[in-house]
């Protein structure tokens, strides 16, 4: 049996689709299933059992011998949340409990880390383990992810195989429930439908023009392909970046969203909200050398192709993948 935590969420539900399409239906799906806004993400997807996230760690400790592999995608991902107790409980300590059971029962583990661990980016975006101790994330979410990465690298008792995936800016279907945390592509389509235009954040940093803030945007279908690759392969334990390796501007993103909707771009700028202005990343770009070195040779979709697929197949009619 394969476990997917965060299974009703964005990346988790797309991973369930990938596993189903690859012929896997003996799945244990873990999430907070009281969230009705996420229920649509699992409609029609095959699995053996659903389990509430609060019950799972204790169940796993007693029944780990029944599990073949765990994808731990569940986390509190709100980058504006300031309550560190929430992150300690749901991101740090919860993941430690899963790690310990995987170590005891010899279960391979792939878990979600984050590019938010890199903070402002002054120490680069290299997934070498030596840099983890000196990274300075910009918010409690990023700190919780980096705290677990540090803890994992210190452990002598480990799962038989493990990887922490540092997700960069993931976009794609099944993010309808994410609200403010949904991708800019999602919000662009919603704004265009409502107003005919899109407002991007103005730059508040000298030398960077409005709309030229850059991120490494990666399509969720590529993300779950990497997850499935790790499921099938033996690989060196450790942290792995998961982006495309190529930063693109928000202006590129918005422009291509208009084009995917067959509309002329109508883009203007507003001030970045003050509550996130001081912790706003102006550039991210994954060094993808490590993942490539273990044999993942598939090309990532370009921003143009990913947006076209996302908009035309999913956002146009608000379909689920």
Annotated catalytic, 18?
A: no
End-to-end C-alpha distance for the chain, whole angstroms: 22
Annotated catalytic, 178?
A: yes
Exactly one of 150, 178, 199, 308 is catalytic; which is it?
178
Angle between helices 184-195 and 250-260 (to 10 degrees): 50
Decide: residue 280, CB within 10 A, 0-12 exposed, 13-18 middle, 19+ buried. Answer: middle
Task: Give the integer Cα–Cα distance in Å for 64 and 261.
Answer: 47
Q: Are 7 and 18 in contact (CB under 8 A)?
A: no
* Residues 6+ away with beta carbon under 8 Å from 100: 61, 157
Tokens encoding 65:
């011998």
Q: Are 51 and 30 in contact (CB under 8 A)?
A: yes
Exactly one of 141, 176, 219, 310 is catalytic; which is it?
141
Pairing of strands 2-5, 27-31: parallel
Pairing of strands 49-52, 69-72: unpaired
Catalytic positions: 141, 178
């Amino acid at each position: 049996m394969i476990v997917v935590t965060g299974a009703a969420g964005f990346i988790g539900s797309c991973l369930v689709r990938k596993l189903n399409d690859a012929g896997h239906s003996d799945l244990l799906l873990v999430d907070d299933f009281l969230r009705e806004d996420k229920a649509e993400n699992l409609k029609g997807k095959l699995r053996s059992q659903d389990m509430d996230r609060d019950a799972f760690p204790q169940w796993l400790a007693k029944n780990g011998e029944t599990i073949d592999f765990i994808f731990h995608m569940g986390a509190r991902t709100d980058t504006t949340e300031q309550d560190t107790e929430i992150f300690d409980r749901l991101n740090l300590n919860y993941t430690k409990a899963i790690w310990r059971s995987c170590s005891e029962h010899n279960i391979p583990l792939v878990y979600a880390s984050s590019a938010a661990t890199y903070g402002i980016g002054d120490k680069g975006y290299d997934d070498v383990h030596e840099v983890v101790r000196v990274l300075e994330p910009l918010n409690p979410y990023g700190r919780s992810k980096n705290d677990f990465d540090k803890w994992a690298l210190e452990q002598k008792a480990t799962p038989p195989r493990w990887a922490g995936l540092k997700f960069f800016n993931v976009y794609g279907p099944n993010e309808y429930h994410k609200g403010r945390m949904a991708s800019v592509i999602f919000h662009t389509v919603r704004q265009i439908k409502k107003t005919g235009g899109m407002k991007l954040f103005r730059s508040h940093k000298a030398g960077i023009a409005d709309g030229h803030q850059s991120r490494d945007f990666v399509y969720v279908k590529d993300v779950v392909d990497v997850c499935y690759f790790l499921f099938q392969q033996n690989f060196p334990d450790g942290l792995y970046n998961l982006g495309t390796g190529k930063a693109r501007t928000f202006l590129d993103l918005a422009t291509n969203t208009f084009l995917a909707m067959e509309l002329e771009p109508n883009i203007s700028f507003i001030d970045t909200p003050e509550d996130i202005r001081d912790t706003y990343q102006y550039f991210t770009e994954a060094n993808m050398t490590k993942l490539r070195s273990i044999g993942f040779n598939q090309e990532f979709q370009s921003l143009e192709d990913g947006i076209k697929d996302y908009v035309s197949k999913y956002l146009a009619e608000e379909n689920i993948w």
